[in-house]
Amino acid sequence: MSDEDVPETIETLPLDSWHRAQGGRMVAFAGYHMPIQYDGIIAEHLWTRENAGLFDVSHMGQLTLAGEGADAALETILPGDIKGLGEGKMRYSLLLGETGGILDDLMVTRLPAANAFDEAAGDFYIVVNGATKWDDIAYLHEQLPEGLTLNHHGDQALLALQGPKAVDALARLAPGVADLFFMEAGAFTIAGVSAWVSRSGYTGEDGYEISIPAADAEAVAAALLALPEVKPIGLGARDSLRLEAGLPLYGHDLDEKIDPATAALGFAVPKRRRAEGGFPGAEQTIGFFKDGPPAKRIGLTIEGRQPAREGATIYDGDVAVGTITSGGFSPSLQVPIAMGYVSTDRAALGTALEVDVRGKRLAATVSAMPFVSQNYVRKGAK
């Protein structure tokens, strides 16, 4: 979280004064003043795993793409199944650069007729990372055909309510949200405000992401915080929660030099796309899925209590075999955990490796991700 590009002017988000009033300790992140913590990262992390945490993710870019053939156009730059996405359904996908490297990771939703963005049924709502949104928008304009319209909804705030009690809490304000399954979305009214709500998030827990007009963000945040299950959660716990859930963070675990196979994101490249190709770098990426990439993203559990952090070198004996891309102390497991890349011959679960932390070698074991089980409410799984 320390190496985000920080532009000269740090901007404020719609909930800036609200965060300060809640006791948030503000830091510069992705070009915005954002709360790193309120009560403390461990307490906030554990609260989210047991109750419901309210996150402000308004720094993220909210885009819509409208027009005939938007799905086919998106498939030229995303390796996911966009054509097969039903209305009100969403997917995690990867924005690929011209040579197949990952420019960003994102969520793409096909909108139904009733949506909060004044777009037609079949159009798309796309949420991209805050630090990359301006580059993404420029790239999308360059890559997408002229008949399509890309809108940046800079006047929308985005909140996430995450945790096992998120459904009970939010359903008290908008009963219909309980009927959504994981990765489904719809239009609802929360505290009198028109909201676009999806059952999704990036903590590994059940929960929701809520897009609302920036002008109404304080009213909605206040209504959510008034629920007994809900506490505000900062960036620090957001990072430890997503790391435990095995979810990569763009700019750390993913970048433009990494392809989807090396990133071990096979679920984001379904069978049809592997058969048909038609996305940047398809030949190499499909080959990597078939025969194995030279290196891949793995999870590591570190022995002892000292965390191994981003940039630490991973060794097998004297041989440097990879690098940690995120690491920290897991509040749920009470051990240090990390994510990184190692050569594929060292990537098997259970492989014993070492990590160099400040000149000291710590024992590490390649471990399955997620580190903490995900608790999504999937359709058909109930």
Partner 1 sequence: MTTYYTREHEWIAVEGDVATVGITDYAQAQLGDIVFVEVPGAGTTVAKGKEAAVVESVKAASDIYAPVSGEVVEGNAALEGDPALANTAPETEGWFFKLTLSDPAELEGLMDDTAYKAFVDSL
Query: Footprint of partner 1 on this chain (CB under 8 A)?
Result: 1-2, 36-37, 40-43, 236, 240, 304-307, 309, 328-329, 331, 336, 358
In the complex, least distance from residue 104 CB atom to partner 1, rounded to whole angstroms:
25
Q: What is the CA radius of gyration of the chain?
A: 20
Q: What does the chain come to in residues? A: 382
In the complex, least distance from residue 358 CB atom to partner 1, rounded to whole angstroms:
7
Q: Which of 187, 192, 165, 160 is nearest to 176 (CA)?
A: 187
In the complex, least distance from residue 44 CB atom to partner 1, rounded to whole angstroms:
10
C-beta closer to partner 1: residue 263 or 308: 308
Q: What is the DSSP secondary-structure string of 187-234?
A: EEEETTEEEEEES--SSSSSEEEEEEEGGGHHHHHHHHHTSTTEEE--
In the complex, least distance from residue 221 CB atom to partner 1, rounded to whole angstroms:
23
Angle between helices 166-173 and 217-225 (to 10 degrees): 120
C-beta closer to partner 1: residue 103 or 235: 235
C-beta closer to partner 1: residue 172 or 305: 305
C-beta closer to partner 1: residue 1 or 52: 1
**Distance (Å, rounded) from C-alpha 331 to C-alpha 44?**
10
In the complex, least distance from residue 240 CB atom to partner 1, rounded to whole angstroms:
6
The tokens 């420029």 sit on which residue?
138
Decide if 350 contacts 300 (C-beta within 8 A).
no
C-beta closer to partner 1: residue 136 or 244: 244
In the complex, least distance from residue 244 CB atom to partner 1, rounded to whole angstroms:
12
**Distance (Å, rounded) from C-alpha 21 to C-alpha 109?**
34
DSSP conformation class of 312: P
Q: Which of 377, 37, 58 is nearest to 205 (CA)?
A: 377
Angle at 313 between CA 311 and CA 314, to 5 degrees: 130
Q: How many Cα atoms within 13 Å fall on the side-chain side of residue 174?
A: 25
C-beta closer to partner 1: residue 360 or 378: 360
In the complex, least distance from residue 22 CB atom to partner 1, rounded to whole angstroms:
16
**Distance (Å, rounded) from C-alpha 205 to C-alpha 195?**
21
C-beta closer to partner 1: residue 43 or 223: 43
DSSP conformation class of 326: E
C-beta closer to partner 1: residue 212 or 362: 362
In the complex, least distance from residue 41 CB atom to partner 1, rounded to whole angstroms:
4
**Distance (Å, rounded) from C-alpha 220 to C-alpha 127?**
20
In the complex, least distance from residue 45 CB atom to partner 1, rounded to whole angstroms:
8
Both structure tokens of 169: 């809490």
C-beta closer to partner 1: residue 91 or 252: 252
**Distance (Å, rounded) from C-alpha 62 to C-alpha 52?**
23
In the complex, least distance from residue 40 CB atom to partner 1, rounded to whole angstroms:
5
Residue 188: how many CB atoms within 10 A of its CB?
21
C-beta closer to partner 1: residue 334 or 373: 334
